[in-house]
Amino acid sequence: MSFWRDLVEPDVQGHLLVDEGEVIIDEVRKHWAATFWWWCLAALSIPMFWMAIWAGSFYPVPLILALGALGLGLWKVHVQHMDRFVITNMRVFRLHGIFDRSLATMPMTRILDISMYRPIVGQMLGYGHFVFESAAQGQGLREIRYVGRPDERDLTIQRVVQRAGLRRVMRMDGAQVDQPSGPFDPTNPAAG
């Protein structure tokens, strides 16, 4: 039964290192903009089905085109639905595919840099694309496209990396910082 369920919904929980205390911080599905044009293609099949009714003896042509548009559109929507990007307390990984599954993972310790690209349409609709840089030459996890709420997701990853103690914190106490010239004082949390 698990095989059939996995064809509809990816098994993210099955890839966690539960014995090691790994927990999901965020499971990211593709933004709806990733499937918009595929939904449009599937919807295009409706007028094609109507054309098949009025096509007379040529009905197979619009019927085949309608079935092809509907099948391809729904298939591509499902492919996007099965693509998941997961942030845990230990790593980030991407699970995608329906029949053939691919899993790409990167431990938090290997993440050197995260770049975020938000095209103008992405800024209007609320999505962006992430590019992960690591010390490895060949990476299985490099680009994650159509991430909804990318600013929040970026901050989530940065928090996990910081809480894991993988980055140094620059301390700013009175001995290291000159007194600021303006009303904001970084040494006084109540100011500013």
Q: Which two tokens stand for residue 47?
A: 């007028």
- The pLDDT assigned to 177 comes to 43
Whole-prediction pTM = 0.78
- According to DSSP, residue 119 is labeled -
User: What are the sequence ranges of the domains in the chain?
Assistant: 1-30+85-167, 32-82
- The pLDDT assigned to 126 comes to 96
Question: Could you read off the pLDDT of 37-52 as tens digits, one per residue?
Answer: 999 999 999 999 999 9
> Which CATH number is associated with domain 1-30+85-167?
2.30.29
The answer to whether 147 touches 127, Cβ cutoff 8 Å, is yes
Ranges in the chain, pLDDT < 50:
1, 175-187, 189-192
